[in-house]
Structure 1
Amino acid sequence: MHTPVTSFSDHSIAKKLLLADPSLRDEYFGHSVVYIVEHNVNKGSLGLILNKPTPRKVGDLISSDQFKDLAHLPVYLGGPVESDQMLFASFEWKEPNTLSCTFRLSAKHAVELVNTPGSNVRAYVGHSVWSEGQLQDEVEKHAWFCRDASARLVLETKSDELWQTLLKDLSPFHHILSLTPDNPFLN
């Protein structure tokens, strides 16, 4: 079983995943898996939600020759900040055991990487931001569970199964929680 980080005194969460606690009922973050792109205890954190695809593709939003190689990419909801802007990110598995993200790629760079083996280019509307101390406070209050990013799970698991798959590995208790429906009274 995976032991989640609950204190920031000894652990940095940059390049890690945040799993929303099942009790977190938020339109953006409920059942979310967030990759933490940047984290600084004194400056705050920036992340991208990995498991919230929208029904749109890049080609639905932008019809330009510059974006034709990106037109097939699904557009993900990255978070509530700047959700009226599209941006590109590339995820790559770097040894030893680190999922790396290049954030705010230019369209030209995204086109170059979309056909590069080992790169996983994604389109996002919005991103997630926490102010100084905010994320630490939320983790200490168990709104989020922090865990290492596994490329196999993150890049190969279907978006609608990612949160549940990652949550069940935290502990036997979390495994049970991962199987509980959103509203158990509707069973």
Structure 2
Amino acid sequence: MNLTHRYKTQTCLSGNILLSHPSLKDPNFYKSVVFLSAHSEDSGTIGVILNRPLNRTLEQLDDQFKGNPYGSIPVFEGGPVETDKIIVAAWEWMKESSSFKLYFGIDLEKVDSLAKESDDVKLACFLGHSGWSPGQLEDELDETAWLVSSLDHELFLEMGKQQEAWKKIVGGMSQELRLLVEAPVDP
């Protein structure tokens, strides 16, 4: 995994992941792994938290999906913004070309099309999203509230493991961070 910490940005972060620094205690993002779906100087940043499963399915969340073939899609907490909205994502690891395809913010027609094309497509829904106004994320990065990493397809295999994914990635960045992630919450 190609990791860069204490990232100063003048570049687009879309497609990367944010990892909350061990010192970040904000309950909305404590030990979070956030996929950044959109980032620009003018519009700000939007993403979803990947490691907060709600242990519910789409049909448990919304009765209109009872009996629907996609009713069993797992639902994750996407973030504290627009928590009444659902975002659908699909991904597929292409073994023969060692590549990763990600479809984010898609509708159920696209889900249907992808599912017909391949049995290897995985799906997840996110309730709400995470958002930063223009310049806000850059300020938080400068304050070292976040660490930045490139997206690795293996992360999607860890989605349901909550803080284990965060601990593994952040702890692998440096010896200092490994010690911080292993430290007790209340020493």
Q: Say whether residues 1:73 and 2:73 are aligned partners.
A: yes
Compared with structure 1, are the counterparts of its residues 105 and 7 closer, same or farther at alpha carbon in structure 2 (3 Å cutoff)?
same
Compared with structure 1, are the counterparts of its residues 181 and 68 closer, same or farther at alpha carbon in structure 2 (3 Å cutoff)?
farther
Determine which of 164, 170, 177 is the counterpart of 2:167.
164
- 1:149 — aligned with what? 151
Compared with structure 1, are the counterparts of its residues 63 and 111 closer, same or farther at alpha carbon in structure 2 (3 Å cutoff)?
farther
1:23-172 → structure 2 map (5 Å cutoff):
23-64=23-64, 68-93=68-93, 101-114=102-115, 116-152=118-154, 154-157=155-158, 158-160=160-162, 161-172=164-175
Greater alpha carbon shift after TM alignment, 166-175 vs 91-100: 91-100
Compared with structure 1, are the counterparts of its residues 166 and 103 closer, same or farther at alpha carbon in structure 2 (3 Å cutoff)?
same
What is the TM-score when the length of structure 2 is the normalising length? 0.85
How many Å separate the matches in 1 of 2:165 and 2:9?
24
Deviations 1:87-107 (A, max 9, x none): 211234589987654332212
| Structure 1 gap segments, 5+ residues each | none
Contact 2:37 2:46 in 1 (8 A): yes
Q: Say whether residues 1:8 and 2:12 are aligned partners.
A: no
* Residue correspondences, number: 182
Shift of 1:168: 1.0
How many Å separate the matches in 2 of 1:121 and 1:176?
34
> One-letter code of the match for 2:87?
L
Determine which of 162, 167, 177 is the counterpart of 1:174.
177
Contact 2:16 2:36 in 1 (8 A): yes
Give aligned-pair identity as a percent.
28
Contact 1:67 1:111 in 2 (8 A): no
Contact 1:114 1:121 in 2 (8 A): no
Deviations 1:13-63 (A, max 9, x none): 111110001121222211000011111122211101000111321121223
Greater alpha carbon shift after TM alignment, 39-48 vs 88-97: 88-97
What is the TM-score when the length of structure 1 is the normalising length? 0.85
Shift of 1:137: 0.6
Contact 2:3 2:148 in 1 (8 A): no
How many Å separate the matches in 2 of 1:178 and 1:77?
22
Structure 1 vs Structure 2 CA RMSD: 2.5
